[in-house]
Chains A and B, each alone.
Chain A
Amino acid sequence: MTGTAVDLIWLAPALALLGFVLNGTLALARPTSKTLVSVIGAGVLLAAFAVSVVVCSAFAGVHAEEPVVLRYWSWIPVGTLQVDFAFQVDQLSLVMLLVVTGVGSLIHLFSIGYMREDPGYARYFAYLNLFVFFMLVLVLGASFPVMFVGWEGVGLCSYLLIGFWFTEAANANAGRKAFIMNRIGDFGFMVAMFMIFWSTGSLDFGTVFTHAPNALAAGGRTVTVITLFLFLGCAGKSAQIPLYTWLPDAMAGPTPVSALIHAATMVTAGVYLVARCNLLFAMAPVSSAVVAGVGALTALFAATIALKQWDIKKVLAYSTISQLGYMFLGVGTGAISAGIFHLVTHAFFKALLFLGSGSVIFVLHRAYHHTHSHEDAQDMRNMGGLARYMPWTTAVMWIATLAIGGVPPLSGFFSKDEILTATHARGQVDPVWLVFWGLALAAALLTAFYMTRLMLYTFHGPNRTGEQEQQHLHEAPWIMTGPLLLLGVLSAAGGVINIPELYHGNAWLHHWLEPITQASTPLLPAVPLSTSTEWLLVGIAVAVAIAGIVGAWQLLKPQALVPARSAPEERGFARLLRNKWYVDEIYDALIVRPLVWLSREVLWKQVDSRAIDGAAVNGAARGAKALGWANRWLQTGQVGVYVAAFVVGVLLILWRAMS
């Protein structure tokens, strides 16, 4: 206990858990009490945010160099392994805490309007509160196992929320797919945990990172394997190649869920993990290159798919995968603060984009409901010209688009640029990083392009929704638009937290996170770039962004679009992109079908039915029956048989007595 307000940190997750318990009870007992659920659901989040702000200011006031670890109880005392249930309050966890509770509160407020008509209202808020609880345990955990509890818990809540409308088979399947792919990643996490304990003798962050330089050889095989397995966990949780296919399917859940879980918080857990273990990754340059390379490749790959998606949420999903690739590129290069900076700004503008699209879907859905139409409310080909009807939404969506595109002086520009600069700088020392820089730059071009495409098709050009529906198109309710405006401000001005020295800024976030990265900094190549090189890189990045936006504006013709119902099939390369490079189909053929065949033909029919059921279970019964049948002959009731048995017994006794 520190004796300061930092001790209150336990309140943040506890409030979220309380919200889950109360809303869960209401979901079972009185599902129709919407007001109470709204107050509890959003209220606990706002309270948690307030607690986070108080703790953060208390921590900043203390000017701590060491993290504050608050132990609550001894969880796993086994032999030499001592794991306590403990929270670690330091600069990194506080950043994550503020993002989760802050953006989370706004999304809860938005959900009050979005989910108003849904019969599962209370259940929704219960699951959402439970998710925030687990996410907070994840970021506040002081050791790998506690973090893993949160890691698994958010996976569970993701499954519950993706399959929220589980009566549709597709939604349930999407939830299952997400959970199973996550498990593959979790396996990597666990193997890494085992190896960390085996080599350093502990699983607490503090102890592990203190012992790591002595216990592990820098650049050696053990630390490389550990970090590669950790990255496997990140690839699952943060949807990188090859475990990303669950995220687009996860769009089957309600849009605020996509905003919170699959944009701002859960998928960033992988980036947080790499940032937390930055010392280990700095000690393993091969793994860092793998992280950065996979990140850059994923960024470009996902961006190509987003170019040809028609569902507005799918575009944003692939955009998220792409931006996560950027974050991994950042932390893989060793620029931890750059990666975390992009995490924060991405939370702002991606949440805004998802919530904005949520508003659009909400309004379109209402319009179709009025006309009893069954058109797809998420297909961009059914939208168009919505700027006329939803001016506020359009304005903030444009802010987010420019931010994600990397146009100065919006937040996304600063964060993306820092990553690109750091990558290029490392490229001077290690040429493969220049390849990564090239991939990232290409991805930036495509990002600007497809985001502008989204805006063009949704908000500009002629309206394709239908004559009757147009009367019902209007701005979304204020409970939904309000948070959008707040996020718009953050997306625009959020860059102030880390303006680099190039622009005479104070790089506040970079300095704030220094105690986290100080152990790894000496291990990384220090490449100072000349000011002119830096300005050149900035210029290239901005030029690429502008090129993307202008290119989309010129090349795409929203007038040529037809409503989804009557839209033509794609051809050639466009078809390849539309069908996501057929990755899902490849996975299905190579992995899923053989596994299902193995399970059905071998494991079920042979092992389970014949060996276990037949031999072991039925066999045991048959054996008992046989034994009983054999024993029958001893109880014949014939005295002669009894006498013979008697004599046999006497012989046995004689024999034993004499030998």
Chain B
Amino acid sequence: MTYTVFWIFGVIAMGSALLCITRKNPIASALWLVVTLFALAALFVLLDAQFIAVLQVLVYAGAIMVLFLFVIMLLNLGRPGPSDIKGPLGLGVAVVLGAALLFLLQPLTQTTLPSAITLPPGSVQALQQQQGIVGSVANPLFGAYLIPFEIASVLLLAAIVGAVVLAKRKL
């Protein structure tokens, strides 16, 4: 049952991604990307990463894509551009390279993880029942990965300052 649902959302994700990259209208591309993000959030839930799924919707679809849409509107790119997709040569190169990439990645999807590091099945769920859904992410975050966490906040600060400076008309 889970398997079927998983695949339904998977197909939605892949289909909307394909539509995203082939639309001439940038706003259409952005909205299809939002659909993809939602589908991915559903996949996260099915993979026992509920907290991450919520974050995906809140941060990615809710903040980042909104920012994209703001900029598209600001630059008045709502209408489809005259030559927004590359000509046949560019398309040909892209398809060839894409096919090569897929061909190379395909074996990776069949890998079996070494048993020495694999956790017993259901251990994530057990952990979540023990510490709570949020707690299972928060404990490592503020524990083992505290320093990267603090650095990430500094990074965000730098990004804020950078964005403000770069977007000003006059410094």
| Interface residue ranges, A against B (CB under 8 Å) | 640, 644, 647-648, 650-651, 654-655, 658
Contacts and interface: CB of A to CB of B under 8 A. Distances in A.
Interface string B83-126: 00010001001100100110011011000000000000000000
Given A644-B97, A647-B97, A648-B97, A654 B104 contact: yes
Given A640-B86, A640-B90, A658 B97 contact: no
B21 to A, nearest CB: 14
Contacts of B105: 654
Contacts of B108: 658
Interface in B18-33: none
Contacts of B101: 647, 650-651, 654
A647 to B, nearest CB: 5
A647 B105 CA distance: 14
A654 B105 CA distance: 9
B100 to A, nearest CB: 5
A655 B104 contact: yes
Contact of A658 (B86, B93, B107): B107
Contact of B93 (A644, A650, A651, A655): A644
A647 B90 CA distance: 13
Nearest to B107: A658
12 contacts: A640-B86, A644-B93, A644-B94, A647-B97, A647-B101, A648-B97, A650-B101, A651-B100, A651-B101, A651-B104, A654-B101, A658-B108
Given A644-B93, A651-B101, A654-B101, 14 more contacts: A640-B86, A644-B94, A644-B97, A647-B97, A650-B101, A651-B97, A651-B100, A651-B104, A654-B104, A654-B105, A655-B104, A658-B104, A658-B107, A658-B108
A640 B86 CA distance: 10
Contacts of B104: 651, 654-655, 658
Interface of B: 86, 90, 93-94, 97, 100-101, 104-105, 107-108
The binding surface of chain A is classed by DSSP as helix
Nearest to B86: A640
A651 B104 CA distance: 8
A644 B90 CA distance: 9
Contacts of A640: 86, 90
Nearest to B100: A651
A650 to B, nearest CB: 8
Contacts of B94: 644
A655 B105 CA distance: 9
The 8 tightest CB contacts between A and B, nearest first, are A654-B104, A647-B97, A651-B100, A644-B93, A655-B104, A651-B101, A651-B104, A658-B104
A644 B95 CA distance: 11
With a 10 A CB-CB cut-off, give which of B93, B105, B108 has the most chain A CB atoms.
B93
Nearest to B90: A640
Nearest to A648: B97
Contacts of A644: 93-94, 97
A655 B100 CA distance: 10
A120 B30 CA distance: 99
Contacts of A647: 97, 101
A55 B104 CA distance: 92
Contacts of B97: 644, 647-648, 651
A655 B104 CA distance: 7
Contacts of B107: 658
A256 B101 CA distance: 91
A644 B93 CA distance: 8
A331 to B, nearest CB: 84
A648 B94 CA distance: 10
Nearest to A655: B104
Nearest to A654: B104
A645 to B, nearest CB: 10
A541 B163 CA distance: 123
A655 B103 CA distance: 10
Contacts of B93: 644
Contacts of A654: 101, 104-105
A246 to B, nearest CB: 74
A647 B104 CA distance: 13
B40 to A, nearest CB: 23
For B97, B104, B105, B107, the residue with the greatest tally of chain A CB atoms inside 10 Å of its CB is B104
A71 to B, nearest CB: 74
Contacts of A658: 104, 107-108
A162 to B, nearest CB: 75
A640 B91 CA distance: 12
Contacts of A648: 97
A352 B90 CA distance: 97
A580 to B, nearest CB: 81
A632 B94 CA distance: 21
Contacts of A655: 104
B147 to A, nearest CB: 30
A582 B105 CA distance: 88
B105 to A, nearest CB: 8
A117 B94 CA distance: 92
B89 to A, nearest CB: 11
B113 to A, nearest CB: 17
A300 B72 CA distance: 113
Contacts of B90: 640
A647 B95 CA distance: 12
Contacts of A651: 97, 100-101, 104
A535 B104 CA distance: 109
Nearest to B108: A658
B85 to A, nearest CB: 12
Nearest to B93: A644
B161 to A, nearest CB: 26
A658 B106 CA distance: 11
B101 to A, nearest CB: 6
B5 to A, nearest CB: 32
A644 B86 CA distance: 13
A191 to B, nearest CB: 64
A42 to B, nearest CB: 90
A655 B108 CA distance: 12
A214 to B, nearest CB: 74
A658 B107 CA distance: 9
